[in-house]
């Protein structure tokens, strides 16, 4: 990749990013949709992969592909080295401490299930959750950070308590203080809400929960690609993220955890590669992270995910964050000027998306009319149905931004929404 991609002298934006140059690294963006240039504004669902990520995976497939750990032959050793190197790259990328370890997963959903199920799967002798214990989950969560906790509560007799947001969709430290007690065993929260863009004060909340003796869980799916403190600076026992939301491959991701916390988890996947010894009636499990990675992992995906982390580091998270903030501010200003439109979390800091409802117009109609203009957005509940029900405004239209989006695309979004409102009213 050319380092000119973030060379301020080529910059068209005050943020130091040159989206035009960056876009040349994303072939998928260069196509017409319904006769218009594609404006891809569905990045909170999935970002696109740049050529360096595609190339890293192709290179692995063409030259090094073999199963890891089991072979003495050269290709297996190279594949093992590539997998280990990917783990090291990603640990550095998230700023893990020396006590933190990274487990490869298929994404955020699997990582969160690994935690929520792993805390009781081992049976009553091992279980972290017992009848009468409490699990606190924020009310901003994607279903992936709610349903596994509902299940864990059902299976263990623990009680699920929700840290409800106020009418503006904000959660407050004082409310968490009121909920937390010596019964709290788990606290789980998102670093950025995928449905509204709200950024909760998760740093202070994790610290509060940790001080109360709970295990703390952070869903970083919507933050890891552009904004997030180093994990070593957070009171976070477990952190989950997905590759496809950070310019990496689909079906990849990770669970990063304090080693001692990961050791509490009973593995979801029992079988090959996660054992030290096996007899017909018993087995000794390997140390973490291997113990939690049963079966053949997605080595090509891990290589691609590490290349995505390198790509982000090369551009610079601060540059990406500033560029996205600028686009979001433009979108917020333009959309707020439209009559009858209500934006969620207009003042959220570091948000990468705008989510809105319009009086008497269904979001699917807006999304369809935008698609007619080549503009890709997402409409619906964004896998956060309880939050939408709580806020009482129904499904939303969501436009979400990435480093390759441009001011022109945001202008097209605003014009497209204005046009949709004219047509639908
Ligand atoms: N949490 C959040 C905040 C998300 O935005 C998403 C994806 N929309 C997930 C979890 C689930 O991620 P995945 O589908 O990659 O497992």
pLDDT digits (tens, 9 = 90+) for 208-240: 999 999 999 999 999 999 998 999 999 999 999
The answer, yes or no, to whether any atom of ligand 1 lies below 6 A from the CB of 107, is yes
**Residues 308, 226 share a domain:** yes
* Whether residue 387 has pLDDT greater than 90: yes
**Residues 193, 305 share a domain:** yes
**Residues 278, 340 share a domain:** no
Residue 120: CATH number of its domain: 3.40.640.10
The answer, yes or no, to whether any atom of ligand 1 lies below 6 A from the CB of 190, is yes
**Residues 230, 93 share a domain:** yes
SS3 383: coil
Range of the domain at 235: 64-313
The answer, yes or no, to whether any atom of ligand 1 lies below 6 A from the CB of 109, is yes
**Residues 253, 197 share a domain:** yes
In a domain, residue 58? The reply is no
In a domain, residue 124? The reply is yes
How high does pLDDT run on average in the chain?
94
- Of the ranges 16-20, 81-85, 206-210, 388-392, which one carries the lowest mean pLDDT score? 16-20
Atom 6 of ligand 1 has which residue's CA nearest to it?
221
In a domain, residue 277? The reply is yes
The CA 398 to ligand 1 mean position distance, Å, reads 15
* Residue 62 and residue 401 in contact, taking contact as beta carbons nearer than 8 Å: no
The CA 276 to ligand 1 mean position distance, Å, reads 33
**Residues 301, 178 share a domain:** yes
Average pLDDT over residues 238-257: 98
The CA 194 to ligand 1 mean position distance, Å, reads 8
**Residues 214, 94 share a domain:** yes
In a domain, residue 55? The reply is no
The answer, yes or no, to whether any atom of ligand 1 lies below 6 A from the CB of 219, is yes
SS3 296: coil
How large is the greatest C-alpha to C-alpha distance in the chain, in angstroms? 70
Q: Which of 296, 313, 330 is the last residue of a domain?
A: 313
**Residues 211, 177 share a domain:** yes
Cα-Cα-Cα-Cα torsion 199, 203, 204, 209, nearest 10 degrees, comes to 110
In a domain, residue 359? The reply is yes
Pocket-testing residue among 222, 227, 387, ligand 1, by greatest number of atoms within 8 A of Cβ:
222
Query: Catalytic: which of 383, 390, 395, 418?
Result: 383
The answer, yes or no, to whether any atom of ligand 1 lies below 6 A from the CB of 355, is no
* Whether residue 33 has pLDDT greater than 80: yes
Average pLDDT over residues 41-68: 98
Q: Which of 285, 313, 341 is the last residue of a domain?
A: 313
How do residues 397-409 score in pLDDT, each as one tens digit? 999 999 999 999 9
Separation of alpha carbons 397 and 384, rounded Å: 13
Pocket-testing residue among 245, 308, 351, 386, ligand 1, by greatest number of atoms within 8 A of Cβ:
245
Q: What is the pLDDT of residue 125?
A: 67
**Residues 320, 309 share a domain:** no
Q: Helices in 29-107 by DSSP H: which ranges?
A: 51-63, 74-93
In a domain, residue 57? The reply is no
In a domain, residue 392? The reply is yes
**Residues 367, 240 share a domain:** no
**Residues 132, 29 share a domain:** no
Residue 324: CATH number of its domain: 3.90.1150.10
Q: Which of 282, 313, 344 is the last residue of a domain?
A: 313
How many domains in the chain?
2
The answer, yes or no, to whether any atom of ligand 1 lies below 6 A from the CB of 113, is no
* Whether residue 272 has pLDDT greater than 50: yes
Q: What is the pLDDT of residue 78?
A: 96
Average pLDDT over residues 332-358: 93
How do residues 11-31 score in pLDDT, each as one tens digit? 444 567 787 789 999 999 999
Atom 8 of ligand 1 has which residue's CA nearest to it?
45
**Residues 399, 296 share a domain:** no
* Whether residue 2 has pLDDT greater than 50: no
The answer, yes or no, to whether any atom of ligand 1 lies below 6 A from the CB of 142, is yes
Q: What is the pLDDT of residue 215?
A: 98
How do residues 158-212 score in pLDDT, each as one tens digit? 999 999 999 999 999 999 999 999 999 999 999 999 999 999 999 999 999 999 9
* Residue 302 and residue 378 in contact, taking contact as beta carbons nearer than 8 Å: no
In a domain, residue 38? The reply is yes
The answer, yes or no, to whether any atom of ligand 1 lies below 6 A from the CB of 106, is no
**Taking the model in full, what pTM does it have?**
0.96
Task: Quote the tokens at residue 266.
Answer: 């009973």
407-424 and 363-372 helices, crossing angle to 10°: 120
236 is catalytic: no
């Amino acid at each position: 990749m050319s380092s000119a991609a973030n060379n301020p002298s080529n910059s068209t934006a005050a943020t130091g990013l040159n989206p035009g140059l960056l876009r040349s690294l994303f072939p998928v963006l260069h196509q017409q949709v319904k006769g218009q240039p594609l404006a891809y504004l569905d990045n909170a669902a999935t970002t696109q992969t740049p050529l360096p990520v595609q190339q890293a995976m192709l290179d692995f497939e063409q030259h090094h592909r073999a199963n890891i750990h089991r072979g003495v032959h050269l290709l297996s050793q190279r594949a093992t080295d590539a997998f280990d190197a990917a783990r090291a790259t990603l640990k550095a990328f998230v700023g893990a401490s020396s006590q933190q370890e990274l487990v490869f997963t298929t994404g955020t959903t699997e990582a969160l299930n690994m935690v929520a199920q792993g805390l009781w799967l081992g049976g009553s002798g091992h279980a972290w959750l017992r009848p009468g214990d409490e699990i606190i989950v924020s009310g901003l969560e994607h279903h992936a950070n709610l349903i596994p906790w509902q299940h864990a509560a059902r299976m263990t007799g623990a009680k699920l308590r929700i840290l409800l947001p106020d009418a503006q969709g904000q959660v407050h430290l004082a409310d968490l203080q009121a909920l937390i007690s010596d019964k709290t065993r788990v606290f789980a929260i998102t670093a950025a809400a995928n449905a509204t863009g709200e950024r909760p004060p998760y740093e202070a909340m994790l610290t509060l929960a940790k001080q109360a003796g709970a295990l703390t869980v952070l869903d970083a799916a919507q933050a890891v690609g552009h904004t997030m403190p180093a994990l070593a600076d957070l009171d976070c026992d477990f952190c989950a993220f997905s590759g496809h939301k950070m310019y990496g491959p689909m079906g990849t991701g990770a669970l990063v955890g304090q080693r001692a916390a990961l050791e509490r988890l009973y593995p979801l996947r029992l079988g090959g590669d996660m054992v030290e010894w096996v007899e017909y009636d018993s087995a000794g499990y390997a140390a973490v992270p291997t113990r939690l990675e049963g079966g053949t992992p997605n080595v090509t995906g891990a290589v691609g995910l590490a290349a995505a982390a390198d790509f982000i580091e090369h551009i610079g998270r601060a540059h990406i964050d500033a560029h996205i903030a600028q686009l979001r501010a433009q979108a917020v200003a333009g959309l707020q000027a439209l009559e009858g439109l209500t934006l969620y979390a207009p003042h959220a800091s570091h948000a990468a998306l705008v989510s809105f409802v319009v009086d008497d117009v269904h979001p699917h109609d807006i999304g369809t009319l935008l698609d007619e203009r080549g503009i890709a957005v997402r409409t619906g509940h964004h896998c956060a149905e309880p939050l939408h029900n709580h806020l009482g405004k129904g499904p939303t239209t969501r436009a979400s931004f990435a480093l390759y989006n441009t001011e022109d695309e945001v202008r097209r979004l605003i014009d497209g929404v204005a046009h949709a409102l004219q047509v639908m009213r």
